[in-house]
Structure 1
Amino acid sequence: MTTPSLSLSLAPVAFYWTREQYFDFYERVAAWPVAGVTLGETVCSRRRDMKLADWLAIGRHLAAAGKQVTLGSQTLIESNADLRDLAKLCDNGDFMVEANDMSAVQRLSAAGLPFVGGLALNLYNVPTLAILQRSGMSRFVAPVELPGADLATLLGAARQAGLALECEVLAYGHLPLAWSSRCFTARHHQYPKDRCQFVCQRYPEGLSLATQDDSRRLFTLNGIQTLSGACQDLRHELGAMAEMGVTTARLSPRATAMDEIVDAFDRARHGHLASPSPLSLVDAELCNGYWHGQAGMDLAPAAGI
């Protein structure tokens, strides 16, 4: 079975990389078989290596390579400075914005600008989708804990209600679970948040938090964000996603082996699932439970993974 109608996209980089790492990474992305790329710092405003002008420069380069470029807004707004940065992002004039906070929705809607609804907006029902579509939303990212069966029901009901919305699903990567006003990575190093020494940059794929007996990676700490310990890998669900009306499978960037991950998903969306998995050396553990209506950290059944 092939699912050519299901495209691939890249989520914003969740972790704090160096400026050189971002530019090198997206230079390679230009040649990858991904249709869309969402750029920007969506986690912490203290990560200052990249300016809006840098993201716009990368975006223009990717757009010239045929990619659909979106700019992601910060998820947790904590200060007036964050609001000023949000205003500049929303008024960038080049690219659509992915709103990860209702303040971004308000700003974009008031300006009459179309936008993408980020997964942090927690969009679970048709009335909410309808309100945001009237506000300008043309695409939304499904919440990571929404089971596939429930998403199928939601998309079917949305179509019956006459809502023409594209839908993205996070098909690969550490699942974003929570954001906090505290910085757990700084706390781990005994630094206060406002003098964090930017220690996040020491962990280009996050800081692993294991169970007390050290038997399992429980969470991944990423500054003020908490992610799942393992990655979700829904390659075997791409056909079902396409049938239910999902338009895009979103992949969360990693510092290593991302080209292999994109290639594996590109093959999978055309029905080619290698066994054993070429990603088995990348991910020792997986957490696909949410998609199957189980505990999120469970590895739900998927032959060949």
Structure 2
Amino acid sequence: MAMPTQQSPLFRISLGPLLYYWPRATVLQFYASVADSPVDRVHLGEAVCTRRHELRHADWLEIAQMLREAGKQVVLSTPVLVESDSDIAVMRRVCGQDDYLVEANDLGAVRCMGGRPFVGGPHLNVYQGDTLAWLASLGAVGCTVPVEMDGRTMAALAAARPAGLDLEALVWGRMPLAFSARCFTARHHRLRKDACEFRCLDYPDGLVADTGEGQAFFTLNGIQTQSATCLDLCAEVSRMAEAGVGLMRVSAHSTGTFEAIAHLDGIRHGMPAAPSPVMPADAAPSNGYWTGKPGIRWIESEEATA
């Protein structure tokens, strides 16, 4: 008598790289909790600013080994904005190792991989199937779609992807929007970038900037600009998975991260798809990009399907 086979989950849960600057002890405790979570893939490494040095490359490798032993797939992420010798050194160190898959966050990292397998990060700005095919010819085995992609375009991209290439999408967390050679957190404190006093440590979820009318608009995170709102596409993950998006990414925040992961895990095991019950650091939810509206907006499901 044949034994019943276990049904594959609707999608896998991915945890993006830590984009903020946290004390070493906080980072270690966070990833110890990740090891016990239902996350399937974990991205590690410094993707924003190579001046951040609470953890070195060897420390990230130790965390990677711990997570691998816990059954997680580990991906090492390269810096997004590579502009200095130190940035290049970090990128080459990540790309040069063969123990873990690499998330290439710029084309320099793609070239540095030399045809070896990698996953494309969200900042490669992939919008068309031809671009996915080109990256696959260079070694890509997966790619994360840009945060501003609407649902129809995402479905079309999934349908056009090369066979065997995984698509990933950010579904919960503040959206990374832009990078600059200037450090906005240092500028806020009237400090130079190379003498920033590591003020990012004071903002575990970034520094929210308001408009003149008092509306939270951006989040400053060193050289990175993020949304002030929290992207929440948890209500859409079932249809995203049906369209061919296999990995749902959660961005690491000081609060709400594990609740969002548990919520997604419930959805993939039969719970009705619904918005996340929590947001990071009291951020308002947003999902406007999904429907082709301004990204800062929150579109109720009834309006989205109208």
Distance 1:196 1:250 in 2: 30
TM-score, reference length from structure 1: 0.93
The separation in 2 between residues aligned to 1:72 and 1:135, in whole angstroms, is 17
- Aligned sequence identity (%): 44
Q: Which residue number in structure 2 is paired with residue 198 of structure 1?
A: 198
Q: Give the match's secondary structure for 2:143.
A: strand
The runs of 4+ residues in structure 1 deviating greater than 6 Å are none
- The alignment status of 1:127 with 2:107, answered yes or no, reads no
Post-superposition shift, 1:135?
Answer: 0.5
Give how far 1:78 is off: 1.2
Residue 25 (structure 1) aligns with: 30
The answer as to whether partners of 2:150 and 2:290 remain within 8 angstroms in 1 is: yes
Which residue number in structure 2 is paired with residue 65 of structure 1? 70
1:294 maps to 2:297: no
Code of the aligned partner of 1:78: E
Q: Secondary structure at the match of 2:286?
A: coil
Partner AA of 1:80 in structure 2: D
Q: What displacement does 1:275 show?
A: 8.0
Stretches of structure 1 that go unaligned for 5 or more consecutive residues are none
Question: Aligned residue for 1:151?
Answer: 154
Tell me the CA shift for residue 256 of structure 1: 1.7
1:49 aligns with 2:48: no
Q: Are 1:86 and 2:91 matched, yes or no? A: yes
What CA distance in whole angstroms lies between the structure 2 residues aligned with 1:252 and 1:71? 15
Cα distance in 1, alignment partners of residues 33 and 43 from structure 2: 15
Q: Are residue 142 (structure 1) and residue 142 (structure 2) matched?
A: no
* Aligned-pair CA distance for 1:127: 1.5
1:163-178 pair list within 5 angstroms = 163-178=163-178
Q: How far did 1:293 drift? A: 1.0
Q: Which residue number corresponds to residue 189 of structure 2?
A: 189
Instruction: Assess if the C-alpha contact under 8 Å between 1:231 and 1:283 holds in 2.
Output: no
- Residue ranges of structure 2 left out of the alignment (5+ in a row): 1-6
RMSD (Å) for aligned C-alpha atoms: 1.8
1:210 matched to which residue of 2?
210
**Equivalence for 1:234:** 233
Aligned positions, number = 296
The letter for the 2-side match of 1:148 is G
TM-score under structure 2 normalisation?
0.92
Cα distance in 1, alignment partners of residues 93 and 140 from structure 2: 19
* 1:288–1:299 contact (8 Å) kept in structure 2: yes
2:107 corresponds, among 102, 126, 142, to 102
